[in-house]
Structure 1
Amino acid sequence: MGSRWQKAKMALSSHLCAYVPRTLDDTSSSSAAESVPAGRISGSRLAMEPDFRPSTPTPSSSGLRLSKSSGKSSKRFCAICLGTMRPGHGHALFTAECSHIFHFHCIASNVKHGNQVCPICRSKWKEIPFQGPTADVVHGRSRINPLDCPQEEGWMRILHGMPLPRASPDSGQQHNPVFHASEPNTFNDDEPLDSSLSELLGRDYTESTEGLTKTVEMKTYAEFPAVLASENCDSFTVLIHLKAPSATSRQGQRNHRSVFQSHHERAPVDLVTVLDVSGSMAGTKLALLKRAMGFVIQNLGPSDRLSVVAFSSTARRLFHLRRMTDSGRQLALQAVNSLTSSGGTNIAEGLRKGSNILEDRREKNPVCSIILLSDGQDTYNIAGGSQSRQGPADYQSLLPVSIRRSSQQGQAQVPVHTFGFGADHDAASMHSISESSGGTFSFIEAENVIQDAFAQCIGGLLSVVVQELQVWFECTTPGVIINSVRSGSYASGVSEDRKKGNVDVGDLYAEEERDFLVDVQMPACCTTISTMQNEFEVLGVGCVYKDPVLQEHVNLDVNKVVIQRPRTISPQQKIACLEVDRQKMRVKAADAMSEARGLAEQGNLAGAVCVLGNQRKALSESMAAQGEDRLCIALDAELKEMQDRMASRQVYEASGRAYVLSGLSSHSWQRATARGDSTDSGSSVHGYQTPSMVDMLMRSHTSFISSGGQRSRPTRPPIKPSRSCRGTLQAR
């Protein structure tokens, strides 16, 4: 009878998640207790320990692990369903922070009903398992579940390698020394720059670039090599092509490491990350965000400085702007690892605090930027969110003055690179913030590629080789005037007499390229000239920029655009320049995307699809596309993807708007953005990627795999292609 009572009591305790102390009767029937498998008893170690209390888990490098006194058989059975737990038996396993293991479907069901504590040791979990159907429908779109079985264990233990916040010896509560109890009114407590590092930076940079070409490469292309002397040309296009110099360690071939490992050979960065920790970020999202931030922290150098702002209903600065030395990284990781999610979404407040940190700093690194991530709509400042088309316009008035892009030359600009996370973020407002500040907008559709999106962004920020780049051009021949300048989102201007113009480019990453189209008007040449003297100067082009490391200004020699003005033209001279044609196609494709987006917002999805289809048809007929130009093939694939994401209002609201806006951001700034699945190497998403971005992405992939994760391509449900006005471009 005693043996049966012992079995019943221990089985009951396992189902009720309760600790049942042993009685005197229990000690007299130890053999009976031993006949019950230890794994079927919630507190299996109770029969082994004389004080009848569960032992305390001991910490290790991979998280909290149980003490060795625990019997191995306790890991063979799930304490919830009492079923066996063995790898390869078709059931995913979940390892909790306290190191107890359960069937994933059992514990996920337990958590779903509000139980967020361990059923065995009753410890409260910071990260809880999330279970949903493989294709959870959110706004008509399949929600990506990164916990693809059987990899849930790796995802949920994603942060166990990070240091935990220190505990105060005087109290049982957690205390993190990097959090300020009360924030100062002025954020002028930034950690001073290390002067010795600055001297080393300049010396190493000079040595590594000695004898190398480290200036911006500038080329010009005329639309046609010749125009009849008797012809009044109302529209003639000149292409200005710029390419930034290579990163020093790559160009000098001093080693095979990426530029990020040579911290003394690049311009250091002041970076502020503004992170959404509202209630919607709970669970897997927050875990993946912490991991992505851990990757950013580990890849910053000792001369780079970082500050983190977390916002929900309000915003708080986790720690002051500090250098990422070994101790700085440790404190930063502790701060990020201690984040919890709750409350609403106050994006504007987070941005204000982030901009104030950079605005109030006493010392400044040459490069500065803000990274903003949010998965929801601002519930405190913009009524209606993305459903209200007045949202973006209203939002610009809420942005701090220091963030807004200024048209005045020489005035500092703080670019905000925004990341819309998931299907419910306000893409219109996030795009407006980035556009107003000179940053880019990225769409993170699949949750498990957030680290890649961050990696691509900092891959650029950690390779800035050109700053304050100004391009100017002038008509030197009488009668030649400037009609227009196609520079995307870059500020440009033309003088009143239409003889001079300029483009404010700003910063360039290593090996980054820019292309601008200048349309001019040319008069007929009435003067009789010989065959050898028929050169006609259309434009004179030059540029000036600042070297961010040496803090010196560099002026490039004037590049003259010269064509022929003969009395007769040969068939060869009538062939348009391929480089000019492909860039004209790029600009027209971006215009079509913008027009289609406007129609889609008005509810005219059929018209939007038709505009994109017409552009695909025009693209296929262009000289560049017929020459199998890779840019044109990529543009066609992107236009087709946008057509598919405008198949219905439901699809457009879920992902189409964000995808189109991210594409517009990429083309207007000629800079890579993340959108959709960033692991898709065949997409036009990578059209503007630099070698430094690719290097950092490879590092992100490597770190993910080495940490035990399995990178699988996230998928979204198939979208029925639209059939109206569809053009085709076949890649040969």
Structure 2
Amino acid sequence: MAKAVEIKAYRNEAAPLKAHEQTLMVKVTAPATGKKETAALDIVFVLDISGSMAGDRIAKMKKTMEFFVKEKMGAEDRLAIVPFSSDANDKSHAKLDRMNDDKKKKAVVAFINGLKAHGDTNIAAGLESAVKMLVEGRRPDRACVIFLLTDGAQNHGDARKVKDVSKVNVQTYGFGEKHDPTLLYELAHKSHGGAFHLVKDNSAENNLADGFGMVLGRFRDISVLNVRVTLRVTPKQKEPEKIHDVDPGSYPTEHDKEKGSFTVEFGDLARLEARRTMLLLHLPKVHKEEKGKTVLTVECLYRLAGAAKDTKVGPQEVKMDRSSKANTDETKPEVELELFRRKHAAAVDEATKLAEKKNFAGAREKLAERLSALDDLDNPKSEDLVGFLTTQMEHMFDHMGSQEEYDKKGKALALSILSSHARQRPTVQGHVHDDSLFYLKRDSKYVAQARQFHINPNTRF
């Protein structure tokens, strides 16, 4: 029998008798299934081949694509490649094909290696073609993703106007320092679960392969599809509990007032990947003590990789004692750390807004405040979080000193950081780290293999 998604609620065991609000955290974690229990993948690479990609950049892109096609596309996977410059006019591999034949793989690699840099940058044309393919060919038992790479700002078409982006997952990559990070961030977050990644253009290394490797490795490991979490109180009570706010990051949420419920759509999750939702729960006044009062129910609906129908876990009851001895000031360590992380992300957002107004002194002051708060954090579970957030803040601080530095590096770095926090997943933030708060231990495997292939393309895995 397949393992189920785990639901865990973090809250105080007891609450006072008076009417008040409590902050709870609900965490869902994908099961630790075997490698053969992961989903087949539909993937579209949307690749910039405009004139600015000439030379070393397109060479790195070709080597990166060769590695993933030859080594990481399985027989059940379907792959399409959409190169774009002034238009997305080469349709020879712009359809989803199974990678179940060695000749087909060789043909795809030959196509990739034959790409030449020329023309302008029409991101919209490439994205539109990719979205259409995935929407029209979507199958509920497969994981789908678009990898969109560009090193420049669009100068033909408008990618913001591409339809149906919200129906697919788009991972966007800004390569170098001349792309438009705002556009790429917006496209990723308009999509369903996408994120924005910043890749340094380092002549000595292929950071592009590292960045693609980290993210593709996560998609290769997807074990549960279309994860939906429903939080519900019992509105029929005379004085019911009420959910006043739900914050799952930047994932879509539907509120059913009649049922007193909120449903969060997290999309697909890899093995052991987790998502956290914070909620503010109003508890009504009670006149006597009560043990094990159900204040919330949580259920999760999803489809296991390869399954013909959905699986449901729950409803799982979340209970609290109502006690005259309870203290409203108590907070679970896990809840405290999650709130702290979100304050950190909010500070990065505020600093970025100040920088956009050319107030770099104010931006640095905001970041310095959060660095100081990290020093003051006293929590037994905080060691990994403090190290991770300190590194982020220090990098941000270094790139907020001037307009030139902010335009070249600071803005894109900030947006890749914000993307990571909003999606609760690792993003490439200039170069690949192995200390991300959202990293899984196996994420480094694809990165290491991509680096090895860069050194020796004859390596097999």
Indicate conservation of the 8 Å contact 1:480/1:499, yes or no. no
CA-to-partner distance for each residue in 1:555-597, whole Å, 9 max, x for gaps? 1122222222222248xx9642111111111111111222222
1:518 to 243, 260, 279: 279
**Aligned to 2:454, what secondary structure does the other structure show?**
helix
**Aligned to 1:586, what secondary structure does the other structure show?**
helix
Report the CA distance shift for 1:357/1:540 in structure 2 as closer, same or farther (over 3 A). closer
Aligned to 2:98: 323
Indicate conservation of the 8 Å contact 2:434/2:444, yes or no. no
Indicate conservation of the 8 Å contact 1:219/1:559, yes or no. no
Q: What amino acid maps onto 1:228 in structure 2? A: P
Of Structure 1 and Structure 2, the greater strand share is in 2
Q: What amino acid maps onto 1:616 in structure 2? A: L
Aligned to 1:697: 447
Report the CA distance shift for 1:220/1:362 in structure 2 as closer, same or farther (over 3 A). closer
Aligned to 1:681: 434
Indicate conservation of the 8 Å contact 1:490/1:669, yes or no. yes
Indicate conservation of the 8 Å contact 1:468/1:546, yes or no. yes
How far residue 402 of structure 1 moved from its aligned partner, in angstroms, is 2.5
How far residue 445 of structure 1 moved from its aligned partner, in angstroms, is 1.4
Indicate conservation of the 8 Å contact 1:307/1:318, yes or no. no
Aligned to 1:351: 127
- The whole-number CA distance in structure 2 between the counterparts of 1:511 and 1:635 is 22
- The whole-number CA distance in structure 1 between the counterparts of 2:92 and 2:33 is 33
**Aligned to 1:580, what secondary structure does the other structure show?**
helix
Unaligned runs of 5+ residues in structure 2 are none
Q: What amino acid maps onto 1:248 in structure 2? A: G
**Aligned to 1:613, what secondary structure does the other structure show?**
helix
CA-to-partner distance for each residue in 1:525-584, whole Å, 9 max, x for gaps? 11x34xxx43332211111111131132111122222222222248xx964211111111
1:276 to 25, 48, 52: 48
How many correspondences in the alignment? 448
Report the CA distance shift for 1:574/1:592 in structure 2 as closer, same or farther (over 3 A). closer
CA-to-partner distance for each residue in 1:635-659, whole Å, 9 max, x for gaps? 1221221121111111110011111
- The whole-number CA distance in structure 2 between the counterparts of 1:608 and 1:515 is 28
**Aligned to 1:317, what secondary structure does the other structure show?**
coil
User: Pairwise mapping of residues 324-339 of structure 1 onto structure 2 (< 5 A)?
Assistant: 324=99, 325-339=101-115
CA-to-partner distance for each residue in 1:55-86, whole Å, 9 max, x for gaps? xxxxxxxxxxxxxxxxxxxxxxxxxxxxxxxx
1:507 to 265, 268, 273: 268
1:420 to 168, 174, 181: 174
Aligned to 1:306: 79
- The whole-number CA distance in structure 1 between the counterparts of 2:247 and 2:137 is 36
Indicate conservation of the 8 Å contact 1:539/1:561, yes or no. yes
Indicate conservation of the 8 Å contact 1:470/1:502, yes or no. yes
Indicate conservation of the 8 Å contact 2:42/2:77, yes or no. yes
Aligned to 1:217: 6
**Aligned to 1:552, what secondary structure does the other structure show?**
coil
- The whole-number CA distance in structure 2 between the counterparts of 1:296 and 1:692 is 17
User: Pairwise mapping of residues 713-732 of structure 1 onto structure 2 (< 5 A)?
Assistant: none
Indicate conservation of the 8 Å contact 1:586/1:632, yes or no. no
Indicate conservation of the 8 Å contact 2:196/2:415, yes or no. yes
How far residue 364 of structure 1 moved from its aligned partner, in angstroms, is 8.0
Indicate conservation of the 8 Å contact 1:312/1:345, yes or no. yes
Cα-Cα RMSD: 2.2
Indicate conservation of the 8 Å contact 1:480/1:523, yes or no. yes
CA-to-partner distance for each residue in 1:194-231, whole Å, 9 max, x for gaps? xxxxxxxxxxxxxxxx5xx5211110010x332222x2
**Aligned to 2:96, what secondary structure does the other structure show?**
strand
Report the CA distance shift for 1:430/1:454 in structure 2 as closer, same or farther (over 3 A). same
- The whole-number CA distance in structure 1 between the counterparts of 2:282 and 2:275 is 23
Q: What amino acid maps onto 2:213 in structure 1? A: A
- The whole-number CA distance in structure 1 between the counterparts of 2:376 and 2:44 is 46
CA-to-partner distance for each residue in 1:229-284, whole Å, 9 max, x for gaps? 2x221x311110111112413xxxxxxxxxxxx5xx43211111110011111111
User: Pairwise mapping of residues 38-437 of structure 1 onto structure 2 (< 5 A)?
Assistant: 210=1, 214-222=3-11, 224-229=12-17, 231-233=18-20, 235-249=21-35, 265-298=37-70, 299-315=72-88, 316-319=90-93, 320-324=95-99, 325-361=101-137, 366-381=142-157, 395-396=159-160, 398-399=161-162, 401-403=163-165, 405=166, 413-437=167-191
Indicate conservation of the 8 Å contact 2:141/2:303, yes or no. no
- The whole-number CA distance in structure 2 between the counterparts of 1:574 and 1:361 is 52
Report the CA distance shift for 1:677/1:357 in structure 2 as closer, same or farther (over 3 A). same
CA-to-partner distance for each residue in 1:479-527, whole Å, 9 max, x for gaps? 311111111110113333683222111111111111110111112211x
Q: What amino acid maps onto 1:457 in structure 2? A: V
- The whole-number CA distance in structure 2 between the counterparts of 1:574 and 1:363 is 48
User: Pairwise mapping of residues 522-561 of structure 1 onto structure 2 (< 5 A)?
Assistant: 522-526=283-287, 528-529=288-289, 533-561=290-318
How far residue 288 of structure 1 moved from its aligned partner, in angstroms, is 0.4
How far residue 331 of structure 1 moved from its aligned partner, in angstroms, is 0.4
Indicate conservation of the 8 Å contact 1:226/1:574, yes or no. no
How far residue 475 of structure 1 moved from its aligned partner, in angstroms, is 1.7
How far residue 286 of structure 1 moved from its aligned partner, in angstroms, is 0.7
Indicate conservation of the 8 Å contact 2:228/2:266, yes or no. yes
Aligned to 1:440: 195
- The whole-number CA distance in structure 2 between the counterparts of 1:655 and 1:346 is 23
Report the CA distance shift for 1:497/1:605 in structure 2 as closer, same or farther (over 3 A). farther
Q: Which structure's relative contact order is higher, taking Cα pairs within 8 Å and 6+ residues apart?
A: 2
2:221 to 449, 463, 473: 463
- The whole-number CA distance in structure 2 between the counterparts of 1:707 and 1:576 is 52
- The whole-number CA distance in structure 1 between the counterparts of 2:311 and 2:129 is 35
Indicate conservation of the 8 Å contact 2:351/2:366, yes or no. yes
TM-score by length of 1: 0.58
- The alignment status of 1:661 with 2:420, answered yes or no, reads no
CA-to-partner distance for each residue in 1:319-366, whole Å, 9 max, x for gaps? 132221211110000000001111111111111122233344497861
Report the CA distance shift for 1:313/1:361 in structure 2 as closer, same or farther (over 3 A). same
- The whole-number CA distance in structure 1 between the counterparts of 2:134 and 2:381 is 48
Unaligned runs of 5+ residues in structure 1 are 1-209, 250-261, 383-394, 406-412, 710-732
